[in-house]
C-alpha cells in the first residue's frame, strides 16, 4: 500500500539504495568470514613455525646427548624442554610413543586439565601413520587453545616420542582486532554509500525528468489538433518510449482525419437521403399535373403553353436526376464479389469514349470485384476527365492497365485544367467539383466503392497540365 503512494523517482531511488544496502551487507558478511579464516590461518601458521623451531631444538639436543650418559631420559627431556620453553616463551609437553606423558614445562597445564596425561590411541596411530604434525582446536567461552602434535625421533630416525605445544588464543584480542577492522570497513562503506546515494538521486532525477517530458506532451494530446512530436536522440528505453509516442501521435492524426472524413460522409449520406426523399415526393405529381394541363388546357397561344410546359418538365426531370444522384450516394448498392475481366471491361468502354486512348494488354487481367460497381467508377472517372478539358483544347486522355504480382493498377490521365495542390486532399470529399454543373458526389461514391473492394484510389495533378486518377485492385485468385 505504501509503495503505491510513492512516485517513480522515489521508487527508483529506494530500489537502488536497497540493492546497495544488500550488497554492502553481503560484502560485509563475507569480509568478516574471510577475516576470521585469515586470523585462524595466521595463528595456525604461527604455531607450526614455533613447533618446527622447538622440534628442531629438541632433536638437536637429543642427537647431541652422549650415548653413555647416566642421566635418565625422562629427566633429560624435562631439563631440555624447560630450557627450550624459556627461550621460546612456550609451554611444551612430551609424550611417549604409547601416549603417556613424560615431561612438561608447566605442570599447571595438567592441574587445569588443559593438557591430557594420556593421549588417545587414535591420535597416536594417526601420527605414526602420517608422520606429520596435527593441529586440534579446543574452544571455550573466553579463549581458544590450539594443540599441535608431532613426532620426535632418535638418531636413527625412529619415533622416540610425541611433542605437544598448547597455544593460547584470546577471544578478546580477536574481538578487538575484528572491531578495529569493522570500524575501518564501516568508514569506507559509509563514504561509498553516501557517494552512491547521491549518484542514485541524480540518476533517478534524470530518468524521471525524461518521463516528465513525455507526461507533459501526453497532457496536451488532443484529437482535433496537431500534436507535437518529441525529439530524442538516444536509443535507450526512453528513446523507444518516445518513438512509440511519436507513432501514436501520427496514428492519432491519421485516425482523426479518417474520423472527420467518415463523419462528413455520414452527414452527407444522411442529408442526401432526406433531400432525395423530400425532392422526389412532389416531383411525380408535378410532372403528371403539367402533362395533364398540357393535354386538357385550351389556351389562346398553344405554342407558348407547349414551350412553358416543356421547360417546366425539363426542370422537373433535372430535379429528379439530382434526387436520384443523392439517393445513389446515400445508399450504395451491395457489392457482389466475383472474378471480373478488366481487359474486356475496358474494351467495352473504348467503344463508348472515342476521344480516349486505351492502352490495354492483349491478355486478360482478372480482379476480385463487383462488375457493375467497377463499371460505374470507371465511367464516372472517364466522364470527369472529358469534362475537365477546357474548350479549344484537343482531348488527350489515356487509360493504361498494368499489373504486379498481386495487384492490377488502372490509370486515367487527362490534359485538363488540373486541380490545385491545396484542393487535391479533398478531391474525394462530397461536394467537391471543378465543374459548373453537378453535385460533386461522383468521386466520393467512387472512393466508397473502391474501398468496399479493399482497393485504393488516389489522384496526382498539376495545374494547367492535367490530372491522373489511379485505382489499385487485388487480383482474382
**Sign of the CA dihedral with 417 first, then 418, 422, and 428 last:** positive
Q: Rounded to whole angstroms, how far apart are CA atoms 62 and 80? A: 9
The pLDDT score that the predictor gives to residue 473 is 93
The pLDDT score that the predictor gives to residue 412 is 93
Q: Rounded to whole angstroms, how far apart are CA atoms 170 and 179? A: 14
Place 139 in a pLDDT band, splitting at 50, 70 and 90: low
- Of the candidates 473, 462, 467, the one whose C-alpha atom is nearest the C-alpha of residue 401 is 473
- 164 CB-contact burial (10 Å; exposed 0-12 / middle 13-18 / buried 19+): buried
% pLDDT > 70, the chain = 73
Full set of structural domains in the chain with CATH:
2-179 (3.30.450.20), 237-330 (1.10.287), 338-474 (3.30.565.10)
Residues whose CB is less than 8 angstroms from the CB of residue 73 and which lie 6 or more positions away in sequence, other chains included: none
What angle, 0 to 180 degrees and rounded to 10, lies between the N-to-C axes of helices 302-330 and 237-296?
A: 150
Q: Indicate the pairing of strand 407-413 with strand 397-403.
A: antiparallel
| Contact status, residue 170 vs residue 143, Cβ threshold 8 Å | yes
The pLDDT score that the predictor gives to residue 138 is 67
Place 1 in a pLDDT band, splitting at 50, 70 and 90: very low
Task: Look at 92 and 113; give whichever has higher pLDDT.
Answer: 92
- 201 CB-contact burial (10 Å; exposed 0-12 / middle 13-18 / buried 19+): middle
The pLDDT score that the predictor gives to residue 410 is 93
The pLDDT score that the predictor gives to residue 142 is 46
Residue 413 has pLDDT above 90, yes or no: yes
Apex 47 CA angle, 86 and 87, nearest 5: 15
The pLDDT score that the predictor gives to residue 299 is 67
Task: Look at 373 and 276; give whichever has higher pLDDT.
Answer: 373
The pLDDT score that the predictor gives to residue 311 is 65
Q: Rounded to whole angstroms, how far apart are CA atoms 446 and 412? A: 14
Q: Indicate the pairing of strand 159-170 with strand 356-359.
A: unpaired
Task: Look at 455 and 43; give whichever has higher pLDDT.
Answer: 455
pTM for the predicted model, two decimal places: 0.41
Lowest mean pLDDT among 93-97, 141-145, 316-320: 141-145
At 143, list the grid cell: 579463549
Alpha helices in 297-335 (DSSP H): 302-330
Residue with cell 416531383: 283
Task: Look at 447 and 324; give whichever has higher pLDDT.
Answer: 447
**H or E, element range at 94:** strand 93-95
Residues whose CB is less than 8 angstroms from the CB of residue 226 and which lie 6 or more positions away in sequence, other chains included: 253
The pLDDT score that the predictor gives to residue 298 is 66
User: pLDDT (tens digit, 9 = 90+) per residue, 155-182?
Assistant: 777 888 888 888 766 556 566 777 787 7
Residue 439 has pLDDT above 50, yes or no: no
- Of the candidates 394, 390, 381, the one whose C-alpha atom is nearest the C-alpha of residue 459 is 381
- Of the candidates 377, 440, 13, the one whose C-alpha atom is nearest the C-alpha of residue 202 is 13
Q: Which of 182-186, 189-193, 472-476 has the highest mean pLDDT?
A: 472-476
Lowest mean pLDDT among 7-16, 151-160, 351-360: 7-16
Q: Rounded to whole angstroms, how far apart are CA atoms 284 and 313? A: 10
How many CB atoms lie under 10 A from the CB of residue 13? 21
Place 414 in a pLDDT band, splitting at 50, 70 and 90: very high
Q: Which of 69-83, 135-149, 205-219 has the highest mean pLDDT?
A: 69-83
Once rounded to an integer, what is the mean pLDDT over residues 189-204?
Answer: 79
Task: Look at 284 and 461; give whichever has higher pLDDT.
Answer: 461
Residue with cell 472529358: 386
Task: Look at 272 and 182; give whichever has higher pLDDT.
Answer: 182
User: pLDDT (tens digit, 9 = 90+) per residue, 27-61?
Assistant: 878 877 877 777 777 777 877 888 788 888 877 77
User: pLDDT (tens digit, 9 = 90+) per residue, 218-249?
Assistant: 777 666 666 677 776 666 666 777 777 777 77
Task: Look at 247 and 331; give whichever has higher pLDDT.
Answer: 247
Residue 472 has pLDDT above 90, yes or no: yes
Q: Which of 104-108, 202-206, 277-281, 360-364 has the highest mean pLDDT?
A: 360-364
Q: Which of 212-216, 419-423, 467-471 has the highest mean pLDDT?
A: 467-471
% pLDDT > 90, the chain = 7
What angle, 0 to 180 degrees and rounded to 10, lies between the N-to-C axes of helices 371-387 and 342-352?
A: 40
Residue with cell 450504395: 332
| Contact status, residue 378 vs residue 349, Cβ threshold 8 Å | yes
Residue 436 has pLDDT above 50, yes or no: no
Place 440 in a pLDDT band, splitting at 50, 70 and 90: low
Amino acid at each position: 500500500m505504501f509503495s503505491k503512494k510513492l512516485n517513480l523517482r522515489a521508487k527508483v531511488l529506494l530500489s537502488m539504495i536497497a540493492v546497495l544496502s544488500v550488497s554492502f551487507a553481503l560484502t560485509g558478511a563475507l569480509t568478516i568470514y574471510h577475516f576470521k579464516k585469515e586470523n585462524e590461518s595466521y595463528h595456525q601458521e604461527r604455531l607450526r613455525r614455533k613447533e618446527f623451531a622447538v622440534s628442531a631444538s629438541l632433536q638437536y639436543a637429543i642427537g647431541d646427548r652422549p650415548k653413555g650418559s647416566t642421566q635418565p631420559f625422562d629427566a633429560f627431556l624435562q631439563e631440555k624442554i624447560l630450557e627450550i620453553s624459556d627461550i621460546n616463551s612456550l609451554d611444551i609437553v612430551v609424550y611417549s610413543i604409547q601416549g603417556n606423558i613424560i615431561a612438561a614445562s608447566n605442570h599447571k597445564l595438567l592441574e587445569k586439565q588443559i593438557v591430557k596425561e594420556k593421549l588417545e590411541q587414535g591420535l597416536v596411530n594417526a601420527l605414526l601413520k602420517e608422520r606429520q604434525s596435527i593441529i586440534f582446536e579446543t574452544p571455550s567461552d573466553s579463549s581458544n587453545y590450539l594443540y599441535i602434535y608431532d613426532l620426535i625421533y632418535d638418531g636413527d630416525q625412529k619415533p622416540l616420542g610425541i611433542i605437544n605445544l598448547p597455544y593460547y588464543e584470546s577471544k578478546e584480542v580477536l574481538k578487538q582486532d575484528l572491531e578495529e577492522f569493522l570500524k575501518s570497513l564501516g568508514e569506507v562503506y559509509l563514504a561509498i554509500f553516501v557517494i552512491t546515494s547521491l549518484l542514485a538521486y541524480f540518476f533517478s532525477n534524470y530518468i524521471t525528468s525524461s518521463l516528465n517530458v513525455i507526461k507533459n506532451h501526453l497532457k496536451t494530446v488532443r484529437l482535433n489538433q496537431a500534436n507535437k512530436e518529441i525529439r530524442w536522440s538516444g536509443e535507450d528505453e526512453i528513446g523507444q518510449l518516445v518513438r512509440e509516442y511519436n507513432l501514436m501521435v501520427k496514428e492519432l492524426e491519421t485516425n482523426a482525419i479518417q474520423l472527420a472524413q467518415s463523419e462528413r460522409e455520414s452527414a452527407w449520406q444522411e442529408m442526401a437521403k432526406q433531400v432525395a426523399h423530400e425532392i422526389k415526393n412532389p416531383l411525380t405529381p408535378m410532372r403528371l399535373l403539367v402533362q395533364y394541363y398540357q393535354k386538357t388546357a385550351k389556351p389562346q397561344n398553344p405554342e407558348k403553353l407547349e414551350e412553358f410546359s416543356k421547360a417546366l418538365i425539363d426542370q422537373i426531370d433535372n430535379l429528379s436526376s439530382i434526387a436520384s444522384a443523392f439517393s445513389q450516394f446515400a445508399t450504395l448498392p451491395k457489392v457482389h464479389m466475383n472474378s471480373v475481366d478488366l481487359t474486356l471491361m475496358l474494351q467495352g468502354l473504348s467503344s463508348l469514349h472515342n476521344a480516349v486512348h486505351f492502352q490495354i494488354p492483349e491478355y486478360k487481367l482478372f480482379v476480385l470485384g463487383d462488375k457493375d460497381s467497377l463499371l460505374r467508377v470507371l465511367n464516372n472517372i472517364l466522364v470527369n476527365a472529358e469534362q475537365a478539358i477546357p474548350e479549344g483544347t484537343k482531348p488527350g486522355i489515356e487509360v493504361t492497365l498494368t499489373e504486379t504480382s498481386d495487384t492490377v493498377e488502372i490509370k486515367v490521365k487527362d490534359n485538363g485544367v488540373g486541380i490545385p495542390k491545396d484542393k487535391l486532399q479533398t478531391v474525394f470529399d462530397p461536394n467537391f467539383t471543378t465543374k459548373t454543373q453537378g453535385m460533386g458526389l461522383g468521386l466520393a461514391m467512387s472512393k466508397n466503392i473502391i474501398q468496399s473492394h479493399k482497393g485504393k484510389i488516389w489522384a496526382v495533378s498539376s495545374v494547367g497540365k492535367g490530372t491522373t486518377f489511379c485505382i489499385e485492385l487485388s487480383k482474382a485468385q
